[in-house]
Amino acid sequence: MSQKIYGFSNEIRAVGEENKMVLEGRAIVFNQPIVLYEFDGIKYKEIIAETALDKVDLSDIVLRYNHNGEYIVLARTRNRSLALEKKLDGLYFKATLQDNIQAHRDVYNAVKSGLIDKMSFGFMVAVNGEQYNLSTHTRTVTEIRKLTDISIVDQPAYESTYVEARSRLEKYTGIDVLRESLIIKAEILKVRILL
């Protein structure tokens, strides 16, 4: 799958460290179901498995503001201003911003004051890197092909996430409808056989 999709987390904080502007938090949460949307009373969920990042190259990941490619990059693993650490419960980051860049100061101060306190991440799922459980309506991402960025966001893109999530999961919604249709047809056949 080549579609870029987004997930979110609400763990970020500004840390005063030796007169540096440091942001740290958890960008990706593992093994926790998140409701992406509800359709006809059914909650469609997604889980990012702890193995999802095992094959991802993390050597050149950027920290952005609101996934905006036109906004100056805040930190990057390639120049070591961004450090990523995979733990059992998620992907953690520590970013050192540049105090001589006004945009960095603005973002740092917004996080420090609590105006911005959410995280998001862009990624592409590997071929066969997802499983879907029909009974729980849960998509589990088992392998991410590419992590495109982690982003500090003032609000996770609930509306765009909803739209993108629907387009990702509509194929599963169709499976549910097909399954229900087959169950009804099977019941009709049972009744006909009994008659």
Q: Is the pLDDT reported for residue 186 higher than 90? A: no
Instruction: Return the pLDDT at 113.
Output: 85
Q: Is the pLDDT reported for residue 86 higher than 90? A: yes
Q: Is the pLDDT reported for residue 166 higher than 50? A: no
Instruction: Return the pLDDT at 190.
Output: 63
User: Among candidates 173, 161, 94, which has minimal Cα distance to 132?
Assistant: 173
Instruction: Return the pLDDT at 157.
Output: 46
**Residue whose tokens read 């959410």:** 118
3-state secondary structure the chain: CCCCEEEEECEEEEEEECCEEEEEEEEEECCCCEEEEEECCEEEEEEECCCCCCCCCCCCCEEEECCCCCCCCCEECCCCCEEEEEECCEEEEEEEECCCCHHHHHHHHHHHCCCCCEEEEEEEECCCCEEEECCCCEEEECCEEEEEEEEEECCCCHHHHHHHHHHHHHHHHHHHHHHHHHHHHHHHHHHHHHC
User: Among candidates 58, 52, 10, 12, which has minimal Cα distance to 34?
Assistant: 10
Res. 167 pLDDT band, cuts 50 70 90: very low
Q: Is the pLDDT reported for residue 126 higher than 90? A: yes
Q: Is the pLDDT reported for residue 102 higher than 70? A: yes
Domain count, the chain: 1
Q: Is the pLDDT reported for residue 152 higher than 80? A: yes
Q: Is the pLDDT reported for residue 174 higher than 80? A: no
Higher-pLDDT residue of 45 and 180 is: 45
Q: Is the pLDDT reported for residue 39 higher than 90? A: no
Q: Which domain holds residue 23?
A: 5-194
The pTM of the full predicted model, rounded to 2 decimals, is 0.74
